[in-house]
Amino acid sequence: MSESQHKHDEHVSHKKNNEMQSHTMDHSMHKEHMGHNAPDNSMHEMHMDHTQHKKEMASNEHMDHASHAGHDEHAGHGTDHTGHEQMFRTRFWGSLLLSIPVLVFSSTLQNWLGFSIPEFTGSSWIPFIFSLVIFAYGGIPFINMAKPEVRNREPGMMTLISLAISVALIYSVAAQLFGLGEGFFWELVTLIDIMLLGHWLEMRSVRQASGALNELAKLMPDEAELVTSDGNTKKVSVEELKNDDVVLVRPGASVPADGQVVDGESSVNESMITGESKPVDKGVDSKVIAGTINGDGSLRVRVTATGDQTALAGIMRLVDQAQKSKSKTQLLADQAAGWLFYVALSVAAVTAIAWIIAVGFNIDVLKRVVTVLVIACPHALGLAVPLVVAITTSMGARNGILVRDRLALEAARNINVVVFDKTGTLTEGKFGVVGIATTKDWDENSALALTSAIEGDSEHLIARAIREASNDRKVDLPSISNFSAIKGRGVQATYDGKSVYVGGPRLLEILNVLPSENLMSFADEAGKKSQSVVYLVADNEVVAAFAVADKIRSESKQAVKRLHDMGVEVAMLTGDSRPVAEAVASELGIDHVFAEVLPEHKDLRISELQKQGKQVAMVGDGVNDAPALTRADVGIAIGGGTDVAIESAGLILVKSNPLDVVKIIALSRASYNKMIQNLWWAAGYNIIALPLAAGILAPWDILLSPAFGAVLMSLSTIVVAINAQLLRRTSLSFVTQ
């Protein structure tokens, strides 16, 4: 009993400290831990200030990509798509409109489609002039985005696109100026059009998938009702709020800042933060989170955190960081894009040599080379993983799972042992009534009601547990009088003119009474589980016994079962005595028990499992479990609603729900499978298309034109985008059930 109580008190203390730390966390300290993938300050601050974030997003909608395209951040084209959708859409429609004269005056298309345009002075220059305009308007952005790739010696898809359209333009200009025959202006403009279309669709897909940050930003109101010193209210900007200000939150309004209720009662919808759909009841001293929606009552809230110190801002930081971090699969995709550049050059060189030997150098040879370069563009490859990453992190955030490190989420699919801290994780971290036994003359509710009434004025942990049990059962408490404490034994009061007592075994000793046989058996069974037993004595007879212990969470048993169904073993790590640990493990069906472990030795138990070849996930509160969380292959910290900045774990659970660990593994497996599928869609397409582009089937008159190659490339991009979006359907049933 004493060890459990000590662990509980320690846990509560740690939780309070952790909450305070999360609200006072220095922004620069947080960024220091984020590693080399951390966003720069300008991007970081964008997510800290709601109003500034909205302005940034609005300006991004109109930014000209070309003016920024030479910056290094665009080297990672596959991971930075912000603000490009509008530009690509505008340039696509503009280029498509300008392409019409080129297509109409192309003799090749006229022959194919069976129409003719009468020639007039200068008509032969129309495709030339319009192609130059289209190249400058729609093609130059690709070349600007290729510059950092070339400068950093990291060739990728922008380099390939630029190479393809540049070769096409140079040859066509030479053909026009030096009479080398018909250029392929129509192929050039359609190639640029299709590239712009593919990028526009890609940007739109990524924007839709990466909407988590925008949606989180929308949760924050722009204004708050500040309660003035005279008790009136006035509307102020949220940015003006300071700690200790009191704000009025009206029914249906958003909570403007993290805080503590000082007056009023209501229920608050916290689903956008915790993923829990059921509204949470709030009263005086309850904590509320910025961005959550108030129910039917009015609340007066004392502000405890504003700006970048709120829980919502912390969640936005983690979502943003996770979307910018790279997983091993994403690094593989980046490497594949680089390899494909050299493969494309090699295949293009072999194609040129083979065709020159076969037919001599002519426009058809150049068409083959250009087609190879177009087909090889790793556009789909660049989208394959980032889009899945964006969808995964946004899905996780909506379900109370915050991804701080992409590598941690990816590694979760290989976990075969999950180690849970007991107190506060598998259990609720507070005492509760776990069993009741009565004599035949008393029913449980009557005994509980009387005991709760007697304990009404006590602040003891056991007394609070009994009162909570009576509240849960909604029993009516009888009237009692003459309450007094019996030092070291229990309490007594008068009920219906008779003395009644509540206390432990030592109370029975001084009263010289013995429990009945069934109550003795009940107490013995509770003792084997190291549970405390409290007795109710009335009419000099022991009429009821209550077993009190740290209550097991209702979700814990289901979580253990679900993990077993997924082929994952479950272990429990606790500082409590072995009887207590064994009792909890037996009830939940846990495979491995580590009991009486000091906090500083918890990581050694993780190491023991790892030495057995196990891939280990550790689930703890992020305070005294920090060394074990760091040691584990995957560290999962319990966030407790607002503690979203726990640095020792790669994954953070907003709710203290063990079932969320099941969600993590299910989401990890589904996400990884979707990444691999996309990589095969992208790479497999190139494996088939490159030989066709080179002309391997030319003897059978099967040749791919540059424009048709661009169509196929864009189709592969769309397929990858759609396949990534299917992640929402294929995994959401596992994640949210």
Q: Is 249 left (phi over 0), alpha (psi -120 to 50) or beta?
A: beta
Rounded CA-CA distance 453/508 in Å is 20
Rounded CA-CA distance 602/616 in Å is 13
Closest to 408 (Cα-Cα) out of 613, 672, 594: 672
Polymer length in residues for the chain: 737
Residue 112, CA atoms < 13 Å, CB-side half-sphere: 8
Rounded CA-CA distance 593/102 in Å is 75
Say if residues 177 and 204 touch (Cβ distance below 8 Å). Answer: no
Task: Name the residue with tokens 């009434």.
Answer: 453
Query: Dihedral, CA atoms, 494, 497, 501, 502, nearest 10 degrees?
Result: -70
Closest to 735 (Cα-Cα) out of 674, 650, 668: 668
Burial class (CB in 10 A: 0-12, 13-18, 19+), 136: exposed
Give the contacts of 534 (CB within 8 A, at least 6 positions apart): 451, 462, 466, 490, 502, 503, 504, 545, 546, 548
User: In DSSP terms, which residues pair with 618 in a beta bridge?
Assistant: 419, 635
Residue 206, CA atoms < 13 Å, CB-side half-sphere: 27
Closest to 463 (Cα-Cα) out of 424, 421, 493, 439: 493
Check 49, 258, 320, 421 and give the catalytic one.
Answer: 421
> 646 to each of 24, 36, 554, 621, 642, how far by Cα in Å?
13, 18, 25, 9, 10
Say if residues 75 and 149 touch (Cβ distance below 8 Å). Answer: yes
Whether 421 is catalytic is: yes
Q: What element of type H or E holds 294?
A: strand 293-294
Burial class (CB in 10 A: 0-12, 13-18, 19+), 478: middle
Q: Which residues are catalytic?
A: 421
